[in-house]
Amino acid sequence: MLTVDYDLLGVRPGMRVLDLGCGEGRHAFEAYRRGADVLAVDWGQHEVATTAEWLGAIAAAGEAPAGASAAVARGDLRALPVPDASVDRVIASEVLEHITDDRTAIAEIVRVLRPGGRVAVTVPRYGPERICWALSDGYHANEGGHVRIYRGDQLSERLSEARLRPTDTHHAHALHAPYWWLKCAVGDTALTKTYHRVLVWDLMKRPWLTRTAEQLLDPVLGKSFVVYADKPA
């Protein structure tokens, strides 16, 4: 399940792509399959190990083009283990809302991006996220949980303050918003688990009905807000 539009991000073979807060690697996998040289970074040991395992499986299955490379590193997004101006594209998907000092993390993104490089930042959208917070303290009030809710204009302003130039925006995952509302309201009940199975089915089969419905609903209910920004050349 991709939140970032790789055509808007402009990932091309041979580019150096940094996936920050990679989780279990979903965005790193797609960049690798598109022929990029990928470095996936996360603080969690389990996430790093899982991403490395799946990247190895992609390579073994021949799903990545010749010349592409992939590596994984454990690191703090406020002090990235990456040289200055060394990457072409940065993905920071659903991670800044976990970081108290998000301005330092954004400054690190600017530091490692080459002039003319582009970043895609995704965060939970204000409206659907506010409902989740209202329904359940446990959703966010835990170690490593969400520490803030971004408004779209607030995130764009923070990127601009760091001397990035925001360009395109969109929303994603409208069908996932009701799932999280259910989970926050009633927990892992039979209804919640049934809805989750529907989401997995949709992810695997991608039928035209649900894909069309989500495309129409994303501007209204999209769970994630995505902004793309360029570092001036």
Percent of the chain with pLDDT over 90: 96
Tens of pLDDT, residue by residue over 52-110, are: 999 999 999 999 999 999 999 999 999 999 999 999 999 999 999 999 999 999 999 99
Phi/psi at 78 (nearest 5 deg)? Answer: -90, -5
CA distance 68 to 196: 34
* Amino acid 1: pLDDT: 87
Tens of pLDDT, residue by residue over 170-206, are: 999 999 999 999 999 999 999 999 999 999 999 999 9
Q: Let me know: does 45 contact 78? Beta carbons within 8 Å.
A: no
Task: For residue 152, give Cα distances in angstroms to 13, 45, 214.
Answer: 31, 31, 20
Can you say whether residue 213 is alpha, beta or left, with left for phi > 0 and alpha for psi between -120 and 50 degrees? alpha
